[in-house]
Structure 1
Amino acid sequence: MDYALQQFANAVPLSALYALLAFGYALSVALTKRADLTYGALFAFSGHAFLLGAHAGWNILFLTFAASLAAGAVLTLALVVPLSVLIGHRIAAPLSAVSPNAFTVASLGLLLVLMEGARLASGTQELWLPPFLNQGIAIMPNLASPVTSTVLQLVNTGAVLILLVSAAVFVALSRWGRNWRAVSEDRLAAELCGVNSRAMFTQTYVLSALLAGLGGILATMHYGTMGFGAGLIFGLKIVLISAAGGHLHPWRAAVGAAIFAFGETFWSAFAPMVWRDAALISLLALLLVITRQQKPMA
């Protein structure tokens, strides 16, 4: 029982991260209506940019460790924001209007470009951050085997929850959120009511990319590194998780992603880890086949 509670505590930071990524992904896919692998690539690219910036701050600029982390975060956002504007305005908006399936193909191409760009920029070397804020804190100290977490896990979880709740409130209550819902439901009708749908595509993609970028920074701080293949793995996971939870509804997608994270953690604890991704992704695919909505025949 104590071991299961510890695994539950371990799953909370991962579930918060997955929920944030799924929420951001659902914002953009609600407009494009097609799978977007670029989102996972932006997440992984942000992690690599953060590592490169932090290492440059420490080894070249001789900054303190905290200042090096800040430099990495600034570099990441400075790269992700222009990239998201370019993708949203020049690729997502026009391709979604002309041929939605073409956007899925373009997203695969963008994924390869971002992954290879990150690999070449780091010289095909995996960079690592030194452990920090890894002091253990007993969450349930009265058990035979106390349930513990680390300072960094708690900080990351709190930061992710703040981002998630802030984004949800902004989408739910702001005028921008109303325009986003209008374009996601009927792009042409929204344009007839005076909403600039192309601008909404760009702004939505920027917001989604910011959530992915901040998630990449927090994940890299948590794990200490970011693998070169993480863009494809996370891109596929987020596409399937969000679709299972309801990819047109950000909160449903976030809840589905959080549940998936708990399943992933408990599989790692109680089952062979080598089969984890294959089994859970297959389960998600089966769930989509069973629950997908059939369109009526014309």
Structure 2
Amino acid sequence: MGYFLQLLASGLHVGALFALLAYAYVLVHGLTGRTDLSYGAVFAFSGQSFILATGFGWSVLWLTLPVALSFAALVTLAACMLLAVVVARYIYQPLAQAPRTSMLVASLGFALFLVELSRLSAESRDYWLPPILSSPVHVLGPTVPVTLTQLQAIEIAAVAIIIGLYQFALEKTAAGRIWRSVSDDPLAAAFCGIDCAFVRTASLLASYALVALTGFLAALHYGSINFSTGLIFSLKILFVTVVGGFRSPLHAAFGAMAVGMIDVFWKGYFSLLWSDAAVFVLLVFLLVVRKPPEPARM
């Protein structure tokens, strides 16, 4: 029983990272209905940028580790915001009325650009962060052997708070009502005077902020991020959102958390080698048996 509870606690942390990335993805896909293959690359880019900027602050600027981490977070967030503006201006806006496959090709090209940019910036080397807040925390008390590190506990709480704030904004604010109106019927929203292009750009900014945060948290936990990890995260999130629908970021987040927990349980009880294959088989099965949702419109 203790082993099961330990896997459950670890699954909550991995699921939280999946949930944050899925929420970010549906923030944009709920408006456009276009499949964007670059989210995994942006996630990996933010993680690698965070690690490189931390190393620069530590070794070149002679900052203390907490200040170097804060400096790296600001630099990476600014870089992701710049990427969001560029993507909105040069990919989403020109392809607003183009066939859906155009976004697949453009986002894949953008992802390859980020891969090469990060590889050249890191000189094809892997950089690692030192262990941070690695002391164990007894989740169920000192008598039950279920622990998380301090960092894992903080990250789970941070993800819950951030998603709660975003969801509150979507449900209770004017910005959220505008987002829902454009998601439901962009033509009617435009007739009501809503600038749909501006809404897409604002959603991309909010989405990329979440992706940057996911990259921070993953880099702090794993110590290093590569693009193969980003690709796996991205594909799982894409399957989750296809299964769960594209209109509700919160539903996508819950589904992604469940996938992350299933992934951890498989690795705990079965072969580590087949964990990704097992998760994808499950998602494909759910995709086959589920009635496809009505696609969103650009």
1:88 corresponds to? 88
User: How big is the shift at 1:257?
Assistant: 0.4
CA gap 1:277/1:211 in 2 versus in 1, 3 angstroms: same
C-alpha distance in structure 1 between counterparts of 2:85 and 2:220, whole Å: 26
User: How big is the shift at 1:24?
Assistant: 1.1
Q: Which amino acid aligns with 2:292?
A: Q
User: How big is the shift at 1:77?
Assistant: 0.8
For structure 2, the 5+ residue unaligned runs are none
1:50-61 matches, within 5 Å, as: 50-61=50-61
1:119 corresponds to? 119
Runs of 4+ in 1 over 4 A off after TM superposition: none
C-alpha distance in structure 2 between counterparts of 1:15 and 1:228, whole Å: 19
2:63 corresponds to? 63
1:175 corresponds to? 174
C-alpha distance in structure 1 between counterparts of 2:142 and 2:70, whole Å: 38
User: How big is the shift at 1:279?
Assistant: 1.6
Question: Which piece of structure 1 moves more, 282-291 or 201-210?
Answer: 282-291
C-alpha distance in structure 2 between counterparts of 1:274 and 1:206, whole Å: 36
User: How big is the shift at 1:272?
Assistant: 0.2
User: How big is the shift at 1:78?
Assistant: 1.3
User: How big is the shift at 1:292?
Assistant: 3.6
Q: Which amino acid aligns with 1:278?
A: A
Verify the 8 A CA contact 1:153 1:222 in the aligned structure 2: yes
User: How big is the shift at 1:142?
Assistant: 5.3
The normalised TM-score by structure 2 is 0.95
1:15 corresponds to? 15
The DSSP-based 3-state class of the residue aligned with 1:97 is coil
C-alpha distance in structure 1 between counterparts of 2:272 and 2:243, whole Å: 23
C-alpha distance in structure 2 between counterparts of 1:12 and 1:293, whole Å: 28
Verify the 8 A CA contact 1:245 1:255 in the aligned structure 2: no
Question: Which piece of structure 1 moves more, 265-274 or 281-290?
Answer: 281-290
1:179-194 matches, within 5 Å, as: 179-194=178-193
RMSD between aligned residues: 1.4
1:1-298 matches, within 5 Å, as: 1-141=1-141, 143=143, 146-293=145-292
Q: Deviations over 1:266-285 (max 9, x none)?
A: 00100101111112112212
User: How big is the shift at 1:131?
Assistant: 0.6
C-alpha distance in structure 2 between counterparts of 1:188 and 1:97, whole Å: 12
C-alpha distance in structure 2 between counterparts of 1:228 and 1:29, whole Å: 22
The DSSP-based 3-state class of the residue aligned with 1:37 is coil
The normalised TM-score by structure 1 is 0.95
Verify the 8 A CA contact 2:8 2:261 in the aligned structure 1: yes
CA gap 1:96/1:278 in 2 versus in 1, 3 angstroms: farther
Identity level (%): 39
C-alpha distance in structure 1 between counterparts of 2:7 and 2:24, whole Å: 26
**Matched residue pairs, number?**
294
User: How big is the shift at 1:165?
Assistant: 0.6
